[in-house]
Amino acid sequence: MRVLGIDPGLTRCGMGVVDGSVGRPLTLVDVNVLRTSSDLPVAQRLVTIEQGVEAWIEEYRPDAVAVERVFARSDVSTVMGTAQASGIAMVVAARRGLPIALHTPSEVKAAVSGSGRATKQQVGAMVTRILRLDAPPKPADAADALALAITHIWRGGAQARLDQAVARQTRAVPTRAVPTRATTTRTIPRRTP
């Protein structure tokens, strides 16, 4: 399975592609960061991110895309930019018909390090170990994108199998018609003075 992990951001959008499957060593395909200048209008920055994500999907042909789920922070402008970049990444992947998974930061930290409260340095160190790299990817957005891809390979396949089993079970169980309560209309006599 080949997964494109995306750590969304308006200024820096981490992109990482990992090959592998559960129980087998994972392999780094590529990692980088899409950057946009804060001097540009937001719409132009989003177009730049869209073009970058398109180029990565075209070049690496992932089987799935894993995007970090946006969560609230104290700085609303940061959340807005992250959410906008996340939306662009999901639209580009959906347009290609690729499965999209959203993973929370704590889920990713727990998957790669064993602790949902791991620091960025700990995540970077574990990504380095898991992918057998010489040094942690820089900046942290790049390591986070790889951690997303790793998480999806390790957890996404299992979740997809669970979803398929539930869907099969739902189709196999016949549905029972539930009688609806008949409603009656009651006429209220009008009072005359």
Annotated binding site: 7, 68, 141
Listing from the earlier edge strand, what are the strands of the sheet with 27-35?
Answer: 27-35, 12-19, 2-7, 64-68, 100-103
Rounded to an integer, what is the distance from CA 82 to the centroid of its chain?
Answer: 12
Task: Kindly write down the DSSP assignment for every residue of 126-185, as one continuous string.
Answer: HHHHHTT-SS--SSHHHHHHHHHHHHIIIIIHHHHHHHHHHHHHHHHSPP-PPPPPPP--
- The binding site for Mg(2+) comprises 7, 68, 141
Task: Cite the active site residues.
Answer: 7, 68, 141
Strand partners, 65: 4, 100
